[in-house]
Amino acid sequence: MQNLKLTLEYDGTAYHGWQVQPGLPTIQGALEETVKRISGEEVRVIAAGRTDAGVHALGQVANFRTNKGLALDTWRRALNGLLPSDIVVRCVDHAADAFDARRSATRKTYRYAIWNAPFPSALERHCVLHIPDPLDVASMAEGATSFIGEHDFSAFRAADDSPPHPVRRVVEARFAQEANRLHFIITGNGFLKHMIRIIVGTLLDVGRGTLGPEDLERILHTKDRQRAGRTAPPHGLCLIEVMY
């Protein structure tokens, strides 16, 4: 039996997230159904990051086990020939038997894209959050540094999320700007449910001047979700890279 590692790109607009949900289109469901059409096998495709509904990926990593002895390039071409056009397999590799796309990952990098202009983008409307008002990007960048390090991110998790260990390590949290497009880039060893989107929503409050950059460390310490900002919409978020 082979353990195959997939590198995936997808537009999450039409999907109810990664994880299989009966009667709903999901990325995992589309992949598992496509593998079944190729090999006749019922497989479970495991992802490094179980992205939410509407969230995209450029570098999602997944794996599954198969007895079908196809060449790697044949697998890639067969999958791409049958998958919907908004899901693309960029690469298929052999993985060690112990490899698990989720458990073996050491870091993930996500990007949140903001279109900061008086007018929206017609071409990029499904992958950027439009903010028409001016933002104080310097203050947002200053505030973002508060998240670097090991912290209890309870203030930045979904209200229905209660993991026993809410501490995560963030090694990168920064902004990059090119013309009207503003990217928030964050890398860490893992993220709580909606954590990045809540961080972005709170940083937008800093950009608008309703919070100061110095307030973010205080919000972290409260561990109170009510102190942080709104959850930013999912369509601006993209999983960029998974590291092992």
Catalytic residue annotation: 52
Distance between CA atoms of residues 110 and 48, nearest Å: 12
186 in Cβ contact with 121 (< 8 Å): no
Whether the CB-CB separation of 196 and 186 falls below 8 Å is answered with yes
Would you put residue 196 in left (φ > 0), alpha (ψ -120 to 50) or beta? alpha
Q: Residue 31: which H helix or E strand, with range?
A: helix 27-39
Question: How far is it, in rounded angstroms, from Cα 233 to Cα 126?
Answer: 11
